[in-house]
Chains A and B, each alone.
Chain A
Amino acid sequence: MPRRTDVARVSRPVFLLTWILAFGAAATSHAAPAADEGWQLLAGYLFRDAHDAFTREGAGPDRLRALGEAASLLNAPPITAGRVAQAEARLRELVAADPADEPALYARYLLARIAHLHRPAEGAEIESAYRAVIAAGPGHPLAQLAAGKLSLLLLYERPDLKVPQRLAAAVALAPVAGGDLLPETACAYYRTLADAAMFYDVLDARVLVWLQRADAIGTRDVVAATGIRIQLAEVARALGRRDEALGYYRQFLATAVPTDNRYRTAAERMAELAQEPR
């Protein structure tokens, strides 16, 4: 004869299952999940769940929910050209219905991203989509995001431009892309400018200035922060700015994280430079 606890062990899962089924049925028929649930799921890479959450609420006139639905549809598996087109259509409807509000601005930004990465379009279309976001709200964080992305397009996806033109076009976006609304993004933008120049073997005073700007804005990413300092040292050295380079080497050595493999190499390079005649 089974003991009482054993009976409880068997009956407990049955009870739990019944409860879960009942709760699930009630949830699908009545309760609408809070909008936050969808955004939480989206922020946590749970795209399909987010899409379910946004679509579960019914067809109310909620523009934010429509934005969430489109944003989650972009990456909810299975990702297909049809679903991307569906998301794009939803975003276009949002913009068309009220081109000036906050969901419309985010919709414009996502439309530019879709054109750039999810449904690769021609360069001119992508560029004008990003510029539309910037024009719609130049002092808005989304404009800063769009300007940063546009700078990448100009730096790497405009083979019709010569390298100096690519750099100049990307630098022209600095007032927006390097703005202080999103300091981490601004820091990354200046690092991106410097890295692009060096990728094209351009090593001049501008590179040092961009790195200095990135360093001044700063980042909470400690690895990136120390990386900027060693770049400053090495670029200043390459430009023949000995004393500046020595100062940056010292800064790097003083702030390098314990896991940085470059410590001894940097220390030796600093010592070598210090011994060179002025």
Chain B
Amino acid sequence: MNRRRIRNLLVLALLAAAYLFAAGRLLLRRGSGVVDPGIEVIRFAHWQIEPGVREAFNEIAADYMALHPKVRVEQLDIPGRAWKQWLRTGLTGGTAPDLIELASYENPDDMLARYFTPITSYLEEPNPYNADEPDLRNVSWRKTYAAELIPSEFGHYFSLNLLEYYGAPSAMVTVRVFYNRRLVAEALGADRPPQTFGEFVALCAALQHHAQVTGRPIVPLAGSWFNFTKITDGLFSAASQRVALTLDLSHNLEMTKHEGLITYIRGRWSLATPAVRAGLETVEAFGRYMGPGWVQLNREDAMLQFLQGRAAMLVTGTWDAGGLVTQSAFPVGAFKMPTFRRDDPKYGRETLGPESEAGTFAGVPFGLTRGSRHPERALDFLRFLTCRKSNAKFSRISTWLPVIKGVPVPPVSASFRPVEDGYVAGINIRYLGGAEVLMQNMYLLSGNGASADAYITKTRGLYDRAYREELERVAHVSLTTVRQKDSVLAGLYQLERPAGLGRAKFDRMAANQLTVEADRLQNLRTLADYPLK
């Protein structure tokens, strides 16, 4: 027997073994959903593996199964790193669960259209699981939400291109400073969260001093690029709110990213604009209190630093709250990152006050897949999951903020509540684009030789190019969606013409296309009229 034949036989044997193994597993697998045809199995998938979330979902699923004994609800928690591949494989292979968590960056329009069922009409009906709630029983499911699921550019429950709702959310998250209450009490003599940026910097200094005096290896702020941006986003914005109002081309009290980029390219502001410089100078003030080498760390490293008691504060999303509270060996407190008072001599000249968080959108929306074997049942579970009682339970166990009207915020989450009585945002140079410029030159703003001037001098040309590229990129992306709508409108026209086009989806999409196209042309006009010098 020659070697080639042996190799072929080996390959065949391997294939046969793999087949037998797979067939055996299939035969021996116990699956009551299949064995008992009277049981409906509903599966829902998400990537929220933070402590507390899975437990909350499990309890709600148990409640539902107690109410409907012929239904089994299974939770699939897929780690974020594997989510994209898992999602694509499941959807294209027809093995996707009934309900899947949605995020616009994971679910482009074509994916939503192909694999998910719009739930717009269902959201306009009352949620029967609120029948015991006098104030909600006659209200549409959508209006039981605290913010009534108003479409938002950033929300993941509504597709601005498809003009349909695809998801029903369960929770809300904000960004807060989490702190080791014991350490802060030791450093300050009292557990007293800061009220202003000045007090925050003073707290950092006190913590550093405390560490030096006690000889303990503690840094005031846990650091990583991710956590750093959670601090600067608010500070950069707060330092420049009044300037932003002067750059509001469309006079609607909101300097959008589009307007920020256009006005930068027109030369109406730069990094040297005093309010923008003041924002950069805040990094000089707090950057030195982050541990050495923090730029190289990731968010998990920063969290570990905090949990091990090596850092006194950590700025992160409240999605991490459950993990921080349950895994730390010390009491954890939280406060909103304070900004500046208007009379702050260094940073307050162009500030209005704390930025409003009213626009914080409801998250963790689950969408109904077209491949669901029990769509009515899955939708029913989704209604149950988002009724007032379940949302209260979810919030209590997970510590995430509730989204349904009248659900109390758990005491532990009180400081996570969005600040609604705030002001419009200012200029956030990171949000406008060129994040890598900030990342690569951050060393000029933090540490012992920190200098906003050095940063401005070094990066001016880089931002000039980065912002132009961002405007071009946005125009390019818009071109794709605008072109697609030409085909989509042709379809809508034929479908809706018999019943009348006025105010129909055709009309609304045509209006949307016109405004998006106008923005795109403003970008191109700006790039042409203000060439790079």
A258 and B148 form a contact (CB under 8 A): yes
Are the CB atoms of B150 and A257 closer together than 8 Å? yes
**A-side interface residues toward B, CB under 8 Å?**
2, 5-6, 9-10, 35-36, 38-47, 50, 64, 67-68, 71-72, 74-75, 106, 110, 113, 117-118, 141, 145, 148-149, 152, 155-157, 159, 180-185, 187-189, 191-192, 194-196, 198-199, 203, 219-223, 227, 230-231, 234-235, 238, 257-266, 268-269
Interface 0/1 of B459-493, CB less than 8 Å to A? 00000000000000000000100111011111111
Residues of chain A contacted by B532 (CB below 8 angstroms): none
Closest chain B residue, CB of each to CB of A235: B251
List of B residues within 8 angstroms of A264 by Cβ:
356, 421-423
B62 is an interface residue with CB less than 8 A from chain A: no
CB distance from B35 to the nearest CB of A (A): 5
The answer to whether A75 and B487 touch across the interface, beta carbons within 8 angstroms, is yes
The size class of the interface chain B forms with chain A is 35 or more
Q: Known: A185-B511, A191-B515, A265-B424. Is A46-B114 also a contact (CB below 8 A)? A: yes
Structural contact, B487 and A184, CB atoms closer than 8 A: no
A113–B486 touching, CB < 8 Å: yes
Give every chain A residue within 8 A of B510 (Cβ-Cβ).
145, 148, 182, 184-185, 188
Output the nearest chain A residue to B490 by Cβ-Cβ distance: A71
In the complex, the answer to whether A45 meets B358 with C-beta atoms within 8 Å is no
B502 is contacted by which of A46, A64, A180 (Cβ under 8 Å)?
A180
The answer to whether B503 touches A220, judged by C-beta atoms less than 8 angstroms apart, is yes
Q: Given A44-B113, A184-B508, A185-B511, does the pair A152, B517 have CB atoms closer than 8 Å?
A: yes
Task: Return chain B residues, CB-CB under 8 Å to A191.
Answer: 515
Q: Is B161 an interface residue (CB 8 A)?
A: yes
Could you show 16 A-B contacts with beta carbons less than 8 Å apart? Answer: A40-B491, A42-B488, A43-B492, A44-B162, A106-B490, A117-B482, A152-B521, A155-B521, A181-B501, A184-B507, A184-B508, A221-B512, A223-B152, A261-B355, A261-B356, A269-B253
Given contacts A45-B113, A45-B488, contact A183 B503 (CB under 8 A): yes
Contact of A157 among B424, B425, B521 (CB under 8 A): B521
| Residue B272 at the chain A interface, CB threshold 8 Å | no
Question: In the complex, are the beta carbons of B522 and A199 less than 8 A apart?
Answer: yes
A17 CB to closest chain B CB (Å) equals 12
B20 → chain A, closest Cβ, in Å?
Answer: 13
* A-chain residues with CB within 8 Å of residue B114 when the two chains form the complex: 44, 46
B494 at the interface (CB under 8 A from A): yes
Chain A residues in 8 Å Cβ range of B27: 2, 6, 9-10
Q: Are A43 and B495 in contact (CB under 8 A)?
A: yes
Q: In the assembled complex, which residues on chain A have CB atoms less than 8 Å from the CB atom of B494?
A: 35-36, 39, 64, 68
Do A47 and B150 have beta carbons less than 8 Å apart?
Answer: no
Give Cα distance in the complex from A222 to B142, angstroms: 15
- Within the complex, the shortest CB–CB distance from A224 to chain B, in Å, comes to 8
Q: Is the CB–CB distance between B252 and A42 below 8 Å?
A: no
Q: Kindly supply a per-residue 1/0 record for chain B positions 339-378, scoring 1 wherever the CB is within 8 Å of any chain A CB and 0 otherwise.
A: 0000000000000100111111100000000000000000
